[in-house]
Amino acid sequence: MPNALFITGTDTDVGKTATAVAILRQLVEAGIVCRAYKPVASGVVPGLSDPEQLWQAAGCPGLLAEVCPQVFHAAIAPEQAARAEGRRVDERLLRQGIVPHLASDLIVVEGAGGLFSPLGPGTLNADLARDFGLPVVVVDAARLGLIGRTLATVTAARAVGLTVAAIVISETAAMRANGPPDRPESPAATAAASLDDLRRHLPELPIGWLGYRADKIAPAINWRSLAAPVQQA
């Protein structure tokens, strides 16, 4: 079985896809054969969707439809979006959809919403990560409250038996000017202080920063060394 990582977040819209794309690009640049898998996605509209971004970052291997076999249009929870279309989330497919990617060296799995958001009627993101036996990369947005959100998610992940591999703080929007950047209340100063505080609270974890529209996570993290073999029932 190939190794894999499960990209999750403290909430929705915190930069999971941008983080997954950056990780995939780094791995591909290192010559690693990668695949991306997003078990389910909602809010998918014509254009460069999250599944397509992941597929392109991996080098367009296989079929785009294999990246995310369950797609719904409404920008609400997947189960609710499925009901709005008169459909259901196929919980078996959430787990079996990874099969086409098993011939790769490393799979980057991206969940939907936060770690404890539902993917289907009986499956949370945390359940799927645990079923696959994967370490999780916790992503949060670079905005006020990130320390509390991140610590809460890491604590909860560990409480249900998940291994937390790393933390990534993602700048999901350009930081607005709020006076000189050295003022303590400026976004840049707040973000830097928050990263320092996170490293103090979680010294055992690699913690990276992904700038707005940036291609790389800094400092560089050895993602391959953090991945674990996929467990498939």
Q: How confident is the model at residue 172 (pLDDT cuts 50, 70, 90)?
A: confident
pLDDT for 55 beyond 70:
yes
DSSP string, 137-185: EEEEESSTTHHHHHHHHHHHHHHTTPPEEEEEEE--SPPPP-S-TTSTT
Mean pLDDT of 99-128: 97
| Position 74 pLDDT exceeds 60 | yes
Assigned token pair, 184:
């303590």
CATH assignment, 3-181+189-229: 3.40.50.300
How large is the average pLDDT for residues 5-34?
97
List, in sequence order, every residue forming a beta bridge with 110; answer none if it has no partner.
7
Is pLDDT of 176 > 60?
Answer: no
Q: Which of the following is catalytic: 16, 25, 35, 38? A: 38
Determine the pLDDT at residue 186: 65
Amino acid at 89: V
- pLDDT tier at 184 (50, 70, 90 boundaries)? low
Q: How confident is the model at residue 46 (pLDDT cuts 50, 70, 90)?
A: confident
Parse the chain into domains and list their residue ranges. 3-181+189-229
Q: Does pLDDT of 180 surpass 70?
A: no
Q: Which pLDDT belongs to residue 190?
A: 79
Query: What count of Cα atoms within 13 Å lies in the side-chain half-sphere of residue 198?
Result: 30
Is 38 designated active site?
Answer: yes
CB atoms within 10 A of CB 223: 25
pLDDT in tens, 117-133: 999 999 999 999 999 99
Provide mean pLDDT across the span 47-61: 93
Q: Give the pLDDT score at 118.
A: 96
pLDDT of residue 233: 53
